[in-house]
Amino acid sequence: MAIDFLVRYPDYLADELLNLYEAEGDPDVLEAVEGIFAADEPDVRLVRMVRWHRGAFQNIETPLAILRARHLVRALRQAGGQRRHDFIVEPAAFVFMDDVVRQQPSLEWYRDRAQLVMRLAKLRSGSALKDDQYMHPEYKDAPLGTEIPSIKVRVLDRLGRLRGEA
């Protein structure tokens, strides 16, 4: 869910990328943030999620069942009976994605976005990513059962300061 949240909320992704930019100084990261706002993604690509007990939530059982049925992901078995959603992305998923993008180039955005989010995620767990999301008061303080609000204006201000425009 934490990775899905970053795909669905481009403004939160941009803010995390600015953290990465400040840590590493990679101009490609700053360019990616600028591209997010140049394409107006926080308005056009935003797919809202509900704030629930453990953060952003949407029922993922049906999409995961479809991916499992197509052998694109494989669930990892959990010891101790604890219910978790840990999956291995199967090689067939990469072949499928390449084929889909070849057939419909506009879907390239999803592949590219997933790669960008995974650059941020590295090997961190979903819980660690969620901890970062809770650093945002808009996320943390959203009442349970309500949609998590955008942070677009705040991130644009931050981007402007980093560019030296403020």
**Residue whose tokens read 């390449």:** 98
pLDDT of residue 39: 96
Q: Which helix H or strand E contains 34, and what residues bound it?
A: helix 27-38
The average confidence (pLDDT) of the chain is 90
Encode pLDDT of 21-40 as tens digits: 999 999 999 999 999 999 99
Tally of domains in the chain: 1
Encode pLDDT of 113-158 as tens digits: 999 999 988 878 878 888 999 999 999 999 999 999 999 999 999 9
pLDDT of 75 > 60? The answer is yes
Q: What is the Cα–Cα distance from 6 to 2, expressed in whole angstroms?
A: 7
What pTM value is reported for the model? 0.86
Q: What is the Cα–Cα distance from 133 to 138, expressed in whole angstroms?
A: 9
Q: What is the DSSP string of 39-92?
A: TTHHHHT----EEETTEEE---HHHHHHHHHTTSEEEPP-GGG-----EEEPHH
Q: Give residue 23's domain range.
A: 2-163
pLDDT of residue 150: 96
